[in-house]
Structure 1
């Protein structure tokens, strides 16, 4: 995954909170020991408290102590992760990202990227609409990996604005060797955390995972 912004914030407030929680636990434990000592000194000698009761009280306090420490650690972790996610999300918005998802055409020529098969002697760029219908099949140089699509049909009529996909077909001796999805740049208009990854909404409404991004550049 390409991430435009990587931050690892260190919060002094979080460290202060953790320190105060540790201090409070230590103080409470000392108070507990004083109470336990006073309880032992003032117990009825005819009906002394069983040692198992002391052990039970110590175990209960230990459980509370561990829970307080766990809650503190989880709180600090959640704050740190939340800050990192927000900074990372903000870094995506407004960037142009390259992926093999559908690309948005708004009337201007679109640059497409696809690596031809080294064995191919003929390559064709196939343009499809959002429903998958083939709109055009253009013969392109088999030695190039970057192509400019003018956004017009084979008869020269302009395509309507919308989302399209492109595939590079590789041929040898007239036989189809392989098909390679072509990539294009799209502007990121929204970024959000989805499960364990960052999901990006592109200018054409497409939603992709940040893991599907192969290149990033500053939005014009």
Structure 2
């Protein structure tokens, strides 16, 4: 994926360089022809040609600089790709609301900033259809929650990406702050969008949302 992006950028620099070289050759040919046929009694003013040569040199230098930057970016992306591949096969905790169902179950924690009189946990699919609801723990602090992957009718949902919503209401009917942290087994890495995302059965996890990385998952 990175190679494709880098190749595209490099191609732009090479194309720009080729175009500039062609324009410069045409300009020099025109200049030579005009000098050969100029009137000896009224020679051409060299100032304009000198200015254009300076412009060509400036553009050529800019293209060369861009080419060097693209090469550096390619090296940086290759290094990043090599490092993030190490996430595959690990288990992470991330502060997001997108919840992966993996091997039929999903797990997350939620932390309440204060005691609540009512907490509603809802899990929806990517179309907003509610698959599971339940009353949550009311005490302030961190609570673990594991969903068995079964909907309201007891039917097992398919593995994939879902959305978890935890809504606590305080005793004064004011919202209580809540932080949701999902747990996921990393199955891949996606770098196509220009930003690096860890993949957990279709759930995209930004690197800056990852809180912990645990040891590689042992095979059963």
TM value normalised by structure 2: 0.60
Equivalent residues of 1:97, 1:188 under 8 A apart = no
Give 1:9-88 correspondences, 5 Å limit. 47-50=41-44, 52=45, 54-88=46-80
1:128 lines up with 2:128 in the alignment: no
Q: Alignment RMSD, CA only?
A: 3.7
**Residues 56-94 of structure 1 deviation map (CA, whole Å, 9 limit, x = unaligned):** 221122112112211110000111112212322343331
Unpaired segments of 5 or more residues in structure 1?
A: 1-31
Equivalent residues of 1:122, 1:141 under 8 A apart = yes
SS at match of 2:195: strand
Partner Cα distance (1:215, 1:127) in 2 = 23
Q: 1:185 aligns with which of 177, 183, 186?
A: 183
Q: 2:102 aligns with which of 106, 113, 127?
A: 106
**Residues 95-114 of structure 1 deviation map (CA, whole Å, 9 limit, x = unaligned):** 53614242222347644233
Q: 1:138 aligns with which of 135, 138, 147?
A: 135
SS at match of 1:67: helix
Partner Cα distance (2:206, 2:48) in 1 = 51
Equivalent residues of 2:99, 2:162 under 8 A apart = yes
How far has the Cα of 1:200 moved from its partner?
2.0
Equivalent residues of 2:108, 2:144 under 8 A apart = yes
